[in-house]
Chains A and B, each alone.
Chain A
Amino acid sequence: MTDQPMIYVEDLYKGFGTLKVLKGITEHVNKGEVVSIIGPSGSGKSTFLRCLNLLEEPDSGKVFFEGVEITAKGVNINVHRQRMGMVFQLFNIFPHLSVIENISIAPTMLKGIPKAQSKKAAELLLERVGLQDKRNEHPSKLSGGQKQRLAIIRALAMEPDVMLFDEPTSALDPEMVGEVLDVIKSLVSEGMTSVIVTHEMGFAREISDRVLFMDEGMIAEQGPPQALFGDPQNQRTKEFLSKVLY
């Protein structure tokens, strides 16, 4: 099983009350692969992504991560989540901690790394995204773009094997989108396995190995970006793309 997928999802169903959101998804993400998820609002993209680290508990179906079924009973999901970074639309920076503490709290608490050492690692990450001057700032002093860059390196500090992004630039002012996308690009170019829900079609086209088009709780079409954007087969994909690409 050397070439087992990093994430494998089998027949996933999820609803909220009577609303059925995910209607049977089977999908995989290989190691080193960059998968973008696009689709209309409400189609279940976030729900699907959040099922991958079980922030949402599926109603039925299985999720495997690095060969382990994390949906199985008795699995300590916290251990697996340490290796799955997640970045949220609204950043979710911890407002009661300084910038550097936001990064170092999880490695210190969860990996038992001494504080001094995890702060040193945090400094390197801050430098990497150009936030070294902000190390002792209060997060409320940061712009949206800076907050999102901080959120990305907060997740990286746990040295995850995969990164999950849920519309990382949707809440940003247009002039800040670029700086966040650049960070994600550099991550991807280093081989970070990534699953990215996004409305930035140009970005998805540029960096993805594969694009999934979600519609009404199912993956209606998927393929390499050139094929999916250049020659969509599914009627719904065509409609969606003609709307977002003009």
Chain B
Amino acid sequence: MIFLEKTLAVATKYGYMFVDGIFYTLLLSAITVFFGTIMGSLLSMLRMSRFSVVRFIATAYIEIIRGTPLLLQLYLFYFLLPDLLPFLDDKFLCICIALVLNSAAYISEIVRAGIQAVDRGQAEAARSLGMSGVQNMLRIILPQAVRNILPALCNEFIMVIKETSLASTFFIGDIMSQYKKIQGLTYLVIEPLLIAGIIYFMLTFSLSKVVAAFERRLKTSD
């Protein structure tokens, strides 16, 4: 009982800090997935380029990003970026860039899979009518691929919400950063952790329900 009372007391007293944390976690995730989608789409085009050098570079990038830990990448960009580009001395910005570069690699594979899942006959029909490769991609393939891509992209958003917790290493205001601050203020470990966990779960669980409903609608409107 004492434990629950303490947890409630922490939630009441420091709730506003967690609200800040939710804001930053969602902001960071939204920025990551938004720019990650733009960059990931471009990357997937490079990955499917007819020039083997371009394909190789894109593939190498994707493999390296996916083959090394995100935490390592965060450290690297956190320390390296301000050194290389002195105007980038905002740590939130550096973390954002690292997260975007990371998630672009994953999203490019989502986009590629979505495009390749479109029946080959579609492109053949479009090209046989005289459409160029670009016209075919923009008007025939991508509109169909979006249906495959969107649900996976929403799942990526849910993943990123959890992954941004790694950025708390650098105290950038997300839920886990706030947890650490509250822990420092209260000398309590478990109680604020429980609250953070509940918040994460509520965020991801409700979002995945939304995605599932959304996916059902995409299917039935077919």
Decide yes or no: A78 and B128 within 8 Å by CB, A95-B144, A96-B143, A140-B222 being known contacts: no
**Residues of B contacting A84 in the complex (Cβ-Cβ under 8 angstroms):** 128
The reply on A203 being an interface residue by CB < 8 A is: no
**Residues of B contacting A140 in the complex (Cβ-Cβ under 8 angstroms):** 222
Q: How far is the CB of A61 from chain B (nearest CB, A)?
A: 20
Contact present for A55 and B124 (CB under 8 Å):
yes
**Residues of B contacting A94 in the complex (Cβ-Cβ under 8 angstroms):** 122, 125-126, 140
Contact present for A109 and B131 (CB under 8 Å):
yes
**Residues of B contacting A55 in the complex (Cβ-Cβ under 8 angstroms):** 124, 127-128
> Which of B121, B130, B144, B222 interacts with A106 by CB under 8 Å?
B130
Task: Determine the interface band of chain A, counting residues with CB < 8 A from chain B.
Answer: 20 to 34
The reply on A90 being an interface residue by CB < 8 A is: yes
Contact present for B127 and A81 (CB under 8 Å):
yes
Decide yes or no: A92 and B131 within 8 Å by CB, A105-B139, A109-B139, A140-B222 being known contacts: no
Contact present for A86 and B144 (CB under 8 Å):
no
Contact present for B129 and A88 (CB under 8 Å):
no
Q: How far is the CA of A78 from the CA of B135 in the complex (A)?
A: 11
Chain A, 86-110, CB within 8 A of any chain B CB: 86, 88, 90, 92-96, 105-106, 109-110
The reply on A222 being an interface residue by CB < 8 A is: no
Contact present for B129 and A155 (CB under 8 Å):
yes
Residue total for B at the interface (Cβ-Cβ under 8 A) = 18
Chain A, 140-177, CB within 8 A of any chain B CB: 140, 151, 154-155, 158
Contact present for B139 and A92 (CB under 8 Å):
no
Chain A, 55-92, CB within 8 A of any chain B CB: 55, 78-82, 84-86, 88, 90, 92
Decide yes or no: A88 and B121 within 8 Å by CB, A109-B139, A140-B222 being known contacts: yes
> Which of A93, A96, A158 interacts with B130 by CB under 8 Å?
A158
The reply on A53 being an interface residue by CB < 8 A is: yes
Q: How far is the CB of A14 from chain B (nearest CB, A)?
A: 16
The reply on B119 being an interface residue by CB < 8 A is: yes
**Residues of B contacting A78 in the complex (Cβ-Cβ under 8 angstroms):** 127, 130-132
Q: How far is the CA of A105 from the CA of B132 in the complex (A)?
A: 13
Contact present for A92 and B124 (CB under 8 Å):
yes
**Residues of B contacting A85 in the complex (Cβ-Cβ under 8 angstroms):** 128-129
Q: How far is the CA of A236 from the CA of B203 in the complex (A)?
A: 69
**Residues of B contacting A106 in the complex (Cβ-Cβ under 8 angstroms):** 129-131
Contact present for B222 and A82 (CB under 8 Å):
no
**Residues of A contacting B124 in the complex (Cβ-Cβ under 8 angstroms):** 55, 86, 88, 92
Q: How far is the CA of A105 from the CA of B135 in the complex (A)?
A: 11
Contact present for B119 and A96 (CB under 8 Å):
no
Q: How far is the CB of A17 from chain B (nearest CB, A)?
A: 18
Chain B, 113-147, CB within 8 A of any chain A CB: 119, 121-122, 124-132, 135, 139-140, 143-144
Q: Which residue of A lies closest to B221 (CB)?
A: A138
Q: How far is the CA of A158 from the CA of B125 in the complex (A)?
A: 13
Q: How far is the CB of B150 from chain A (nearest CB, A)?
A: 13
From A85, A86, A96, name the one whose CB has the most chain B CB atoms within 10 angstroms: A96
Binding site for B on A (CB under 8 A): 53, 55, 78-82, 84-86, 88, 90, 92-96, 105-106, 109-110, 140, 151, 154-155, 158
5 further A-B pairs in the complex, CB-CB below 8 A; given A92-B125, A94-B126, A96-B144: A78-B131, A86-B128, A90-B121, A92-B122, A93-B125
Binding site for A on B (CB under 8 A): 119, 121-122, 124-132, 135, 139-140, 143-144, 222
Q: List 7 A-B contacts (CB under 8 A).
A: A78-B132, A81-B129, A86-B124, A88-B125, A110-B131, A110-B135, A155-B128
